[in-house]
Structure formats: C-alpha cells, structure tokens
Amino acid sequence: MTMPSSSAPPPRRITSRLRVWLVRLALVAVTIVVTLIVGGGFDARRRHPELKPWHRLVPSAEPTAADLSETATLEDYLRREAAVFDQVHRDIEVPLAEADKTPANRFNAQGVSSPARLPHDYNRTFELAPTTVRGGALLIHGLTDSPYSMRALAERLTSTGFYTLSLRMPGHGGVPGGLTRATWEDWMAAVRLGVRHVRGRIGPGLPLLMVGYSNGGALAVKYTLDLIDGQTGPRPDRLVLLSPMMGVTPFARLSSVIGALAPIPYFDRAAWLDVLPEYNPFKFNSFPANAARQTYDLTNAIAAEIDRHRGDGRLSGLPPILTFQSLVDATVSTEAVVHTLYSALPRNGSELVMFDLNRSAHLDPFIRPSDLALLATLFDRHASRDYTLTVLRNVSEETLDIAEWQITAGTTTIEKRPLGLAWPADVFSLSHIAMPFPPDDPVYGASVARTPSGPIRLGLLAPRGERSVLTVPVDTLMRVSYNPFFGYLSDRTVAWAVASQSSREQSERVP
C-alpha cells in the first residue's frame, strides 16, 4: 500500500489557499473598478465645461421600445415626435439665457446654426413621394445624427420613383440629453415600425430597400438578421450601407462604468464623453457615455448573430448588400466591415465599395500601417471572395484622377475602369461624417456660396491661425464634411434600387 506523500498539503489547506486568492483577486478587481469610476468622474469634471440645459433635458414624450408595439403606426410615432420638439422649444429655446444666444448655437432661433434657416427642419422624420411609386425605401441616419443626413439620397431615390421615409431615431434631433436614456432596442423598434410603414405604403408587389448610415447601417443589418432568427416583419429586397457601424472600440463598454457617478450632481459631467458647443444644426456635437455603450452592445449582438448563423448556414437568407466605406474611418472600424460582415456573406450579389486614400497627397508615411495593410489584404491576388470588391483609387500616385479597381466575386482578377472623377487637391481622404453629403450640400458642402440668410456653412471652414482661440477643436472643423464622389455613390445606389425592382419582377415571373 502506497502512503500519501508527506509534502502534499491536505485538501482543506488547498481550499483555504484558493479562497484567499479568490478574495484577493476580487478586491483587486473592485479596486480597479472603483479607481476607474472615481478617476473618470474627476477627469470628466476637469475636462468638460459645465453642462447646459440641452444636456440635462430628456424629452418625456420620446418613444421607447415598449411604446412601439407591432400595432404602433407612423402617425402614432409622429405625434410623439411632435411632442418632443414642442418640449425642446418650450423648455430650451424660449427661455434661452442671454449668454447662450451666440450666433453658432443651434438653439438660438436667430443664429446661423438654427435649423430654421432651411425651409424644412430635417431634424424630424420626413417622407417624399413620387407621382408614380415604383418601390419604397426606409432611410436610417447615424448616431447623434438626424434625418438630414439622408436628405440627398432620399431626394435622388424619390426622383427615380421610390417612396422614401427618412425616420428619426429615438433620442435624436431634439437635444443631446435625449441620448442619455435611449437604447438600441428603442432604435430597433422604430426601424421595425418604419419598415412596416414603407411596405404598407407601397403595397406587397414593389421592391423594398433599406438604406442605413453608420449606426443606421448596423440597425438595418440587425433587422435582417432578426428576420432569420424568426422575428416577424417585411423582408427588404436589398440593403445599402454607408460607413456601417459593424465594430467600435472596446473603450465604449467602459464608458458606462466611468459614468457610474453621473447621478451625483458633483459628477454629472461623467455621463458625457464629449461636451462641446452645439453649433451643428443637424447633428449633436456632445456625446453621452450611454450612446457609446449602446453602440457597443448593438455591434456585439450583430457579431454574435453573424457567428451563429455562419455556422448553421442561415446567412443565405440575407438580402444582397451594397456598402460604401472609406479605408480610413475614425468613427467605425473598417476592418469590422470587411471581416465581421463581408467575410461572412454568402455569394448573393453583394458588393463592397471602398474609397482609398488620395495617393497623390504622398501621405503614406504618416498613415497607420494597419490601414495600409488592410487594403493590401483585400487586393491579395490569391484570395477569392464571395462578394465583389470595388476600390476607388488614384490612377497613379502622380494624378488626382481616380478609377474603379474591381475584383468580381469568385475571381482574383483586377479590372480597372476610369471614372472621369478626381480628388480635390486639398483632400487626402474621406471622413466618416462626409459619406452621405454632396459637395453642394447647403450645410456641409463646399461648392455653394455663403449667403446672409442661409445656414452656417461648415463645409467651407478651413481655419488656420492662433491656437486656443476657437471654442471647438480645430481638427473637428478641419474634418472634411462632404463627399466629393457623392454623385458616384448616388448613381450606384439608384442602380442598386432599380436592380432590386428587376429582380423582384423576374422572381414573380418564375412559375
């Protein structure tokens, strides 16, 4: 009989030691969390200016997912939306303090940033209907954004016979404080209502398109994935995504931890990642921690669904997707668009259109190596893919002229086609915020003259001068705010919509 070694500790001693180490690890974890919360609270108080009334107001009529049942209608939604804007007018705009009546405050009705400078307040939901309806499209704006970002595409689609609904997402358009409470489930409920309305408006026999920008792109993808999971609702024939939010930084998850002290008045600024002057008439500049957390949760939910259905083969139920994405994007992850979404798609006619850098600017030595490596991976001649890849890039590094560099699905051959387009000499790349705006956009464009009665012209700003003078970061104002290739983007979108109409007609003719 073998006797146990005298050097082995008794089982109870092992359990006791394990318990001690677990307690120590728990204390370390608690200490780290508390340090993050307290440190973040003090840091937010130091970095951010005092909150304004528009940061504190959460409109009481803002609809939530619980309010948007399957029986809710667009008319119900618009009534609540009107109540939101009535409250903003009553509680913010009318009693606006004299100190806040600056020309660049969007809540100053007399200022250049007032949405009233345009004939229609595009912070609200709007519909456009052609004389003869040939299809329908739901357009979904991005985070901190408004339906204004969908205006140009909505007008173009309507001119081709598509009824369009540009739907304001809950928490947007009114005051940035609305985003301190809104959730991605609220946005999804609004999207489902919008799709139902568009399908009901155009009838069962016409093509249905979903167009999503940034966070709106994520919501459009989530909607189609939910249909695969058994969620009821009309099925879109095709999707168009502009800079879709398929991935965000992990820091977004920590934002809600850092904001844990926000209910304490002394630390109320901890609820915000950015607190900036609200000079943009159709987009919030201030950014609450809750909004970051919602995008993190939404993109994680999408990635989980894609992974699950990638394994069971049910992604074949997705409609064809056309995506426009800049190689460099400071807001969303281009790599996630490629690897999380497109690498998982079946061969269903989807296409990824990538806007490269302006190579004639010769800034490659200053570009992140990871961005340059991503494009090299996409152009790997030994890797075929199930989607068509189209890259808009310089014909050569010595010219501003660009061409399509295209690899059709299932092939590795690059075909080049001149477009007759060129980079503006002073632009080295697109930006996330520029994607849906044409050069002649009255707010974000750069090719329309400034007029005394018109809105602020953010696209014309290119400030150079002394530092610490402006009330907003210079790099924010210098960020390109319009898409010099919007004509190409809108032409491709219209062609995609027309193709959806042809595909539906052909499927109906099949016995």
For residue 202, give the CATH number of its domain.
3.40.50.1820
Strand pairing category for 208-213 and 162-167: unpaired
Alpha-carbon distances, residue 388 vs 1, 217, 383 (angstroms):
72, 19, 12
The answer on pLDDT for 272 being more than 80 is yes
Domain count, the chain: 1
Give mean pLDDT, residues 457-485: 78
Give mean pLDDT, residues 121-144: 97
The answer on pLDDT for 4 being more than 60 is no
% of the chain with per-residue pLDDT over 90 = 68
For residue 163, the 8-state DSSP code is E
Strand partners, 417: 404
489: alpha, beta or left, given left = phi > 0 and alpha = psi -120 to 50?
Answer: alpha
How high is the pLDDT of residue 254?
65
Look at residue 264 and tell me if it is in a domain: yes
How high is the pLDDT of residue 8?
56
Look at residue 19 and tell me if it is in a domain: no
Question: Three-class SS string for 380-433?
Answer: CCCCCCCCEEEEEEECCCCCCEEEEEEECCCCCCCEEEEEEEECCCCCCCCCHH
Model pTM score: 0.90
> What b/e string do you get for 460-485 counting C-beta neighbours within 10 Å, with b at 16 or more?
eeeeeeeeeeeeeeeebeeebbbbbb
Q: Which helix (H) or strand (E) holds 15?
A: helix 11-47
Cβ–Cβ < 8 Å for 125, 119:
no
| Angle, helix 151-159 to helix 486-509, in steps of 10 degrees | 50
Structure-token pair, residue 421 = 């387009």
Terminal-residue alpha carbon distance, the chain: 81
Look at residue 29 and tell me if it is in a domain: no
Counting runs of H as helices and runs of E as strands, what totals does the chain give?
A: 12, 12
Give mean pLDDT, residues 100-118: 93
> Picking from 241-245, 422-426, 497-501, which range would have the lowest pLDDT averaged per residue?
497-501
Domain, as residue range, for 409: 35-509
| Candidate ranges 236-240, 273-277, 506-510; pick with highest mean pLDDT | 236-240
Strand pairing category for 135-140 and 272-274: unpaired
Q: What is the distance between the alpha carbons of residues 136 and 500, in angstroms, rounded to a whole number?
A: 11
The answer on pLDDT for 160 being more than 90 is yes
The answer on pLDDT for 125 being more than 80 is yes
Give mean pLDDT, residues 411-415: 91
How high is the pLDDT of residue 455?
83
Per the model's pLDDT, the better-predicted residue between 168 and 380 turns out to be 168
Alpha-carbon distances, residue 154 vs 128, 209, 482 (angstroms):
7, 11, 16
Cβ–Cβ < 8 Å for 55, 177:
yes
The answer on pLDDT for 406 being more than 90 is yes
How high is the pLDDT of residue 470?
73
The answer on pLDDT for 15 being more than 90 is no
Strand pairing category for 272-274 and 287-288: antiparallel
Q: What is the distance between the alpha carbons of residues 511 and 501, in angstroms, rounded to a whole number?
A: 18
Helices (H), 89-183: 151-159
Per the model's pLDDT, the better-predicted residue between 205 and 469 turns out to be 205
| Candidate ranges 113-122, 158-167, 384-393; pick with highest mean pLDDT | 158-167
Q: What is the distance between the alpha carbons of residues 214 and 293, in angstroms, rounded to a whole number?
A: 15
| Candidate ranges 155-159, 262-266, 424-428, 442-446; pick with highest mean pLDDT | 155-159
Q: What is the distance between the alpha carbons of residues 354 and 390, in angstroms, rounded to a whole number?
A: 6
Strand pairing category for 321-326 and 238-242: parallel
Look at residue 8 and tell me if it is in a domain: no
Per the model's pLDDT, the better-predicted residue between 249 and 252 turns out to be 249
How high is the pLDDT of residue 328?
92
On average, the pLDDT of the chain sits at 89
Question: Three-class SS string for 202-262?
Answer: HCCCCCEEEEEECHHHHHHHHHHHHHHCCCCCCCCCEEEEECCCCCCCCHHHHHHHHHHHC
> Picking from 5-14, 60-69, 311-320, which range would have the lowest pLDDT averaged per residue?
5-14
The answer on pLDDT for 451 being more than 60 is yes
How high is the pLDDT of residue 18?
75
How high is the pLDDT of residue 32?
63
The answer on pLDDT for 108 being more than 90 is yes
How high is the pLDDT of residue 22?
76
Strand partners, 274: 287
> What b/e string do you get for 166-179 counting C-beta neighbours within 10 Å, with b at 16 or more?
bbbbbbbbbbbbbb
What's the pLDDT band for 25 if we cut at 50, 70, 90? confident
3-class DSSP state of 109: coil
Give mean pLDDT, residues 365-392: 84
Look at residue 285 and tell me if it is in a domain: yes
The answer on pLDDT for 7 being more than 60 is no
Look at residue 142 and tell me if it is in a domain: yes
How high is the pLDDT of residue 510?
46
The answer on pLDDT for 26 being more than 80 is no
